[in-house]
Amino acid sequence: MKAFLILEDGNVFTGTSIGSTREVISEIVFNTSMTGYLEVLTDPSYAGQAVVMTYPLIGNYGITPDMESGRPWPDGYIVRELSRMPSNFRCEGTIQDFLAKYDIPGIAGIDTRALTKILREKGTMNGMITTNENYNIEEIIPKLKAYTTGNVVDKVTCTEKRVLKKQGNAPETKKVALLDLGAKRNIVQSLRERGCEVTVYPAHTSAEEILAANPDGIMLSNGPGDPKECKEIIAEIRKLYESDTPIFAICLGHQLMALATGADTHKMKYGHRGGNHPVKDLATNRVYISSQNHGYVVDTDTLDPKVATPAFVNVNDGTNEGLSYVGKNIFTVQFHPEACPGPQDSAYLFDRFINMMGGAK
> Residue-wise pLDDT tens for the chain (361 aa)?
999 999 999 999 999 999 999 999 999 999 999 989 999 999 999 999 999 999 999 999 999 998 999 999 999 999 999 998 999 999 999 999 999 999 999 999 999 999 999 999 999 999 999 999 999 999 999 999 999 998 999 999 999 999 999 887 777 779 999 999 999 999 999 999 999 999 999 999 999 999 999 999 999 999 999 999 999 999 999 999 999 999 999 999 999 999 999 999 999 999 999 998 999 999 999 999 999 999 999 999 999 999 999 999 999 999 999 999 999 999 999 999 997 656 778 889 999 999 999 876 5
271, 116 Cβ separation under 8 angstroms: no
**How do residues 68-81 score in pLDDT, each as one tens digit?**
999 999 999 999 99
pTM, two decimal places: 0.95
Do the annotations mark residue 223 as ligand-binding?
Answer: yes
Domain 153-356 is found in CATH 3.30.70.3400: no
Nearest-angstrom CA–CA distance, 108 and 18: 7
CA distances (Å), origin 17, targets 12, 31, 109: 14, 20, 9
2-146 to CATH, choices 3.50.30.20, 3.30.200.20, 1.20.1250.20, 3.20.20.80? 3.50.30.20
- 217 known ligand binder: no
Q: Which residues are catalytic?
A: 251, 336, 338
Candidates 177, 178, 277; CA nearest to 222 is 178
Do the annotations mark residue 182 as ligand-binding? no
Has 87 been labeled as part of a binding site?
Answer: no
Q: How far apart are CA 308 and CA 95, in angstroms?
A: 43
